[in-house]
Amino acid sequence: MPCPSFTVPLVYSAPRLPCPSFGVPLIWCAPHLVCPSFGVPLVWCAPRMVCPSYAVPLVCRAPRMPCSSCVTLLKMLRQAHLPGAGASARYRCICQVQVHLSGTGASVTHTCQVQVHLSGTPARYRCICQAHLPGTGASVTHTCQMCWLCVLQHFGVGVARAGSAVCGGMTGEYSVHNEKNTRKKVSHAIPRGLTVARKRRDWRYYLCCCTGPSGVAASGNMVFLHGVLYLQILEGRDLPDVDVSWFRSTKDVSDPYVTVDTCTGGKRSCRIAKTSIIYNSLSPHWHEKFRIEMCHEVESFLFSVKDLDLLKVECMGYMNIRAEDLLSEEPISGWYPLMSKNGDPAGALNIMMHFKSVASITRSNEVLDTVFPMRGNCNLKLYQDAHTPAVPPVTDVPGQDGEPYDPPQLWKDLARHLEAAKKLIYITGWSVKTDISLERDGDQESIGELLKRKSEEGVRVLLLVWNEMMSTDVYTPGVMGTHDEDTRIYFEGSEVEVVLAPRTKSKAKVMETNFVSTCYTHHQKSVILDVEVEEDDSKRRLVAYVGGLDLTDGRWDTPDHPLFRTLPTDHSNDFYNGVCPSKVTVGPRQPWHDIHALVDGPAALDVHDNFVERWRCQAQDRENRLYAISSDVFDLDYESLSGGWNCQLFRSINSDSAQFRTDVLDKLLSRKGRLYENSIQRAYVHHIRRSNRFIFIENQYFLGSSHGWLIQEAKCTHLVPVEIVTRITRAIDEGEDYRAYILVPIHPEGDPGSGAVQEILYWQYRTMEMMYRKIAKMLKKVGSSSHPTDYLSFFCLGKRESAEDIPDGLDDPDSDTVAEKARTHMRFMIYVHSKMMIVDDEYIIIGSANINERSMNGNRDTEMAIGAFETEHTKETMGEELVQGAVHTFRRALWAEHCGEHREEHIDPSQLECMHSMRSIGEENLQHFVSEVPEHRDSHLMLYPIDVSEDGHVKTREDCPTFPDTPASILGAKSSFLPNSLTT
């Protein structure tokens, strides 16, 4: 299609900004117009000024070869004794051309400039491209640089003797070829392994050594780094003082810190590391280590040394490392010179980088180098929903013994354990509501009454609940409805101790601290208590409940997920709807699906240690209230009698929320000088990479890997989505059967049309689009006729009922409300709140962490998860046979709940037949869900209401343009006022 502004063909390829006319990302080019200077087509694409037609930035991209003027000058340089002491030279060439684009009056001016400084100052080659578009008012300047040694390297100029040079490569030996074909080895700051001689490479390849004036990395070869990057930022020296604060004393100098970004196309694409700030130092010592999981397409790594001033952040110097230099998997280290924004020397930085690819890492079921190691001889009980009666279709699933599966019942088991506790009950929660009952058969006491009674019996009862900053004594509901103030007030004067713990940020600016306290949460959900030791009545042992369920309103539900039927009975004192305003006498209630686990054995002690670390940090004045865990009272060497499970605890947490033990500090990561743990993300990445056949995920959110999005609009950089699609594309390339099934709620909790929910949906859409486009690209590459959804499908859950399901006595809903529409159409979403991943029916992760940046980062929300597998049911023990242990049975029970039936084709999810079966069920249920005619259905699984094309484009379905009963967009919309860190 022609560009209406410049009447030249359009090329749809560059992944930056969308064309408003065609709704696709675009660059526009003039393929038939040749630059007289370079003899190559002109391409207009990215970063600075805006095209009035498309409102996208424009720039004239650097061409493919040096112009004849530069060649002439460099021939002159070949005859000069450049490295001579005290010598200096300056050459300048200007070649100006005008290219008229038909009907526009646009012109291009190209200026070449060569500068050489040899009096101890690094020499550099500079190319300036200026593009002027008079008809549009746009004017762009592109600048690139390379050191004189790289110029000499490209043109085969011999170096007579040693001279100083600036290069962002590795310290080591290089070989120099002169015209007489003699070789000399010299030790300099030059990329190891590169030969200084003529090579058939694009001249821009050699611009990697130095940054341009703006500090943006120069272009290089794009490589895919998939593995682990070990990075150390040690120290700096001779940094410039850029401190300009009006209030500085004569002794004050800059306060440097370092950021590290991956770069693609000369632009920053992803921030991967940030050091602490060293105050008043031009020779700072950081000595900080970073362990960075990599799944990135990278040209270079941009190291930026910055000064934190009173009013702004000022750049002190830049330096680049080419990504391809890491592919050898050999460590690179040493001092690397920095350049200022103006291209002047700006000191040096001492670093070490060592990349290890996925192929070089042997992976077991244990995630190594984490705070909590894998624990053997444990037992794990898996729960679906708060209460799961032993009725079909769940019991249609055969158990491991061949008998019908007998599902455990979470809140009944928890009530039994709380009643039997003798020493301690520790609870962490996002929310705890005191007036709900764990059991619904008969007149049961509330959880508040139960905890008070146990504390009066001498049991140490401690609650660590997130303190929502918007809830106060005056207005206890707050914004999130966590009941934290109500819980504190309820237990006042009792033996139950409640600590309302805000998510704080120490040693930060006031605004930053307030933002963290308001927007981020303590999201862990655990109950730790003591139970009897079999065959030894004199001692107790610890068990722990871990997962996605808080002890609060609306969580009690069954696999049937009723909307109205239980309002007068099971939910008469426990009504909850977080989507639309309603009440127990009207309905509907919000169905709630969740996953939880009971940990028994050595791993339960790790869950206890997590509570202790948090209590010591967040309740420092009450540390003495912790119950002393001694071998006199507890069996600390207890191993589960049915200990066929290995379990490992993972967390997202930092030093603002936990007092870490000194013996695990080497296992922690650092960002801005703050210690943190992000082992939940590491566990997901580890087991996705290790997977052979399929993954099944249930999660409240699914968004991330923003560095791979078509448009990078948010900092949501965790790797889970891109690791999944990388594993899928590898399977396609190698001809393997591999599938990914992902279950999310149809939309996040709340009004789906609100700004926050719409933005979350928009990030989710960007994530889905990225994944499907990569799969489509790989299918095209291998010549497959398969559809992207054959390998990756997204599902959600919906409940549909009929008029017969409405009990007598309910009030009529208010007119023109969501509650009225739900009553009319008898439908509502089932809220998927699970945080679970099953890998190959062998390994399971269950916890509180969502698949978003808040949960995976480690420096945002506080999270926990347990990863586990049965030792007798692993890929190693089963060989070529399917793994069919407890994890396999649990998954099939979940799928029976969602599908309303048990199907044999669901035994092996890696097969295309299984994916087609799930999609067929999901499509049928979605059609019934969007229908205006109420119809009771026991099958809840629905396809997520999007349309995916063969080339991976994601759009809305024609039969479901908005969420049912609302005008809200399914693909969401970016907010103009909300901070990304809140919604990602």
Q: State residue 643 phi and psi, 5-degree precision.
A: -75, 65
> Is 835 designated active site?
yes
Secondary element (H or E) of residue 499: strand 497-501
Of 608, 718, 835, 902, catalytic: 835
> Is 401 designated active site?
no
Secondary element (H or E) of residue 923: helix 912-930
Secondary element (H or E) of residue 149: helix 148-155
How many Cβ atoms sit within 10 Å of the Cβ of residue 362?
Answer: 5
Of 452, 833, 888, 902, catalytic: 833
Q: How many CA atoms lie within 13 A of 801 on its CB side?
A: 25
> Is 787 designated active site?
no
Of 261, 484, 530, 841, catalytic: 530
Angstrom distance (rounded) from CA 411 to CA 440: 10
Of 840, 841, 861, 965, catalytic: 840
Closest CA to 301 of 341, 253, 347, 336: 336
506-to-120, 514, 522, 603, 899 alpha-carbon distances in Å: 45, 11, 15, 30, 48
Secondary element (H or E) of residue 824: helix 818-825
954, 769 in Cβ contact below 8 A?
Answer: yes
Q: State residue 251 phi and psi, 5-degree precision.
A: -90, -10
Can you read off the two tokens belonging to residue 758?
A: 């719409």
What size, in residues, is the chain? 984
Can you read off the two tokens belonging to residue 482?
A: 């966590």
Going through 667-762 in order, the beta strands assigned E by DSSP cover 669-671, 674-678, 694-699, 739-743
Going through 810-932 in order, the beta strands assigned E by DSSP cover 827-829, 831-832, 835-839, 843-847, 863-870
b vs e for 636-665, b when ≥16 Cβ sit within 10 Å of the residue's Cβ?
A: eebbbeebbbbbbbbbbbbbbbbebeeeee
Rg of the chain in Å (alpha carbons)? 31
Of 483, 523, 561, 940, catalytic: 523
DSSP-assigned beta bridge partners for residue 694:
739
For the chain, how far is it from start to end, CA to CA, in angstroms? 36
600, 384 in Cβ contact below 8 A?
Answer: no
153, 136 in Cβ contact below 8 A?
Answer: no
Where do we find the tokens 């396999």? 888
Angstrom distance (rounded) from CA 4 to CA 23: 15
How many Cβ atoms sit within 10 Å of the Cβ of residue 140?
Answer: 18
Q: How many CA atoms lie within 13 A of 522 on its CB side?
A: 33
539-to-419, 459, 521, 740 alpha-carbon distances in Å: 17, 15, 36, 45
> Is 396 designated active site?
no
715-to-434, 574, 747, 759, 984 alpha-carbon distances in Å: 38, 38, 21, 13, 8
Of 154, 505, 525, 799, catalytic: 525
**Amino acid code (one letter) for 713:** E
Contacts (Cβ under 8 Å, ≥6 apart) of 374 = 365, 366, 367, 646, 647, 648
Task: Find how far residue 35's CA is from the centre of its chain.
Answer: 43
Contacts (Cβ under 8 Å, ≥6 apart) of 824 = none
> Is 530 designated active site?
yes
> Is 505 designated active site?
no
578-to-92, 498, 752, 822 alpha-carbon distances in Å: 68, 25, 11, 14
Going through 280-325 in order, the beta strands assigned E by DSSP cover 285-298, 300-308, 313-322
Catalytic residues: 523, 525, 530, 833, 835, 840
